[in-house]
Amino acid sequence: MQNYDYDPNSAGAVAGVMALIGVMLVPIIIFILITVIGKWKVYEKAGKPGWAALIPIYTWIVMLEIVGKPIWWVILFFIPCVNIIFIIWTINLLSKSYGQSEGFTIGLVLLGVIFWPILGFGSYQYLGPSAAEAGGLRPKDPFNPNPNNYQDPFSNNNPPPQA
């Protein structure tokens, strides 16, 4: 049998571990930057400051304002087990505020690095917190001849319907 003399404190071992950490850290930082940039654009679409995506607790306060929930909900984000439910609920309300369904919420929670930029840079419009309460989708009125203004079909500001 051979006796290997291996010292885990040797310079080679330390350099190998540091290289591994460096290789793993670069993609993590890139993923975080992509997610924050996507959140920045989502906040700007809602008329809120985009830089709020950079500040840890303030980002949740701004998100609560976007979805129309009380600011004291941020306290619930610090209670173990309760925070998971309320964070997912808030993200669900956010996706509904942009007219998206629960499937998009799952994407924001599990694949945020992909879905936050899609929501921020895509053609999705902020519909407001009332859209979140209404289920996220704009109401379809079969009697409204003008799809441009679903709230007031008889307004003089509406362009005539096209045949």
Distance CA 61, CA 71 (A): 6
- Does residue 114 belong to any structural domain of this protein? yes
65 within a domain of the structure (yes/no): yes
The answer to whether residue 18 sits within a structural domain is yes
Which range marks the domain in which residue 54 is found? 11-133
Measured CA to CA, the distance from residue 139 to residue 136 in angstroms comes to 9
Residue 154: the pLDDT is 53
Residue 38 lies in a domain: yes
Given a contact cutoff of 8 angstroms between Cβ atoms, the answer to whether 109 and 88 are in contact is yes
In a domain, 138, yes or no: no
| pLDDT tens over the chain, length 163 residues | 677 666 666 777 788 888 889 889 999 999 999 999 999 999 999 999 999 999 999 999 999 999 999 999 999 999 999 999 999 999 999 999 998 888 999 999 999 999 999 999 999 999 888 675 665 555 455 555 555 555 555 555 555 656 5
**What pTM did the predictor assign?**
0.70
pLDDT of res. 155:
56
- E strands, the chain, are none
H runs (alpha helix) in 46-77: 56-67, 73-76
Q: Is residue 161 part of a domain?
A: no
pLDDT of residue 158: 55
> What distance in Å separates the CA atoms of residue 155 and residue 49, rounded to the nearest whole number?
32
The domain total for the chain is 1
User: Does the residue 149 lie in any domain?
Assistant: no
The dihedral over CA atoms of 113, 60, 106, 120, expressed in degrees to the nearest 10, equals -50
Tally the residues of the chain.
163
**CA distance linking residue 147 with residue 138, whole number of Å:** 10
pLDDT score for 48: 93
Q: Which residue has the tokens 């509904």?
A: 96
The confidence score (pLDDT) of residue 101 equals 87
127 occurs within a structural domain: yes
The pLDDT of residue 1 is: 65
